[in-house]
Structure 1
Amino acid sequence: MSFLKKLFGGGSSGGSAPAGPKKQIDYNGYVIAATPYKEAGQWQTCGTISKVIGGETKEHRFIRADRFADEEGAADHAIMKGQQMVDQMGDRIFG
């Protein structure tokens, strides 16, 4: 029954949306924000990468499978993953 509740929006998966970024850095013209959230008793790696292009703010949200016992560890990992994505993809991340 709980599966059906989750499937149709009647239950919570245990995760909670972050109030705001835990950490944020400027990196090579991009803003990388770590927004880890609690999932199943651990902190899920999550963040955003944004950049102003042609007067418009573009944003890419990412979630990784990596989980940590503490929020700080998940935030640090999200920043590192964001930097890696910027280095590998650049502006293609928004396309």
Structure 2
Amino acid sequence: MGFLSKLFGSKKETKVVEVEPIEFNGFLIYAESISEGSQYRVAGRIVKHIDGEVKTHRFIRSDVLSSQDDANQLMLKKAKLFIEQSGSSMF
């Protein structure tokens, strides 16, 4: 069986983590840092309901930090600044 799984690839389990959004000026911010080795890349989503439709802006930054909490905190800070500068025009 080991040979066949190597030949056809084995299925790896992926963890689905529920992220609690932070509300800011009518937008929902989801901090979803990406693990890269021993570091975490700043990433996330900004979501807003506009005219009954859910609009989502996903972004991944070049910033990498050693702590997942630090990466998520920086994401929130950058997302708030982006919302203040762009508002709904980001969609």
Q: 1:52 to 1:79 in 2, by over 3 A?
A: same
Q: TM-score, normalised by structure 1?
A: 0.75
Q: TM-score, normalised by structure 2?
A: 0.78
Aligned to 1:85: 82
Unpaired segments of 5 or more residues in structure 2?
1-13
Aligned to 2:73: 76
Q: Distance in 1 between matches of 2:56 and 2:17?
A: 17
Q: Which ranges of 4 or more aligned residues in structure 1 deviate by more than 4 Å? A: none
Structure 1 residue 17: Cα displacement: 8.1
Unpaired segments of 5 or more residues in structure 1?
1-15
SS at match of 1:67: strand
SS at match of 2:17: coil
Give the alignment's Cα RMSD to 1 decimal.
1.9
Q: How many residues are treated as equivalent by the alignment?
A: 79
Aligned to 2:57: 60
Structure 1 residue 19: Cα displacement: 2.6
Q: Which one-letter code corresponds to 1:46 in the other structure?
A: A
Q: Distance in 1 between matches of 2:85 and 2:53?
A: 22
Q: Distance in 2 between matches of 1:93 and 1:17?
A: 30
SS at match of 1:64: strand
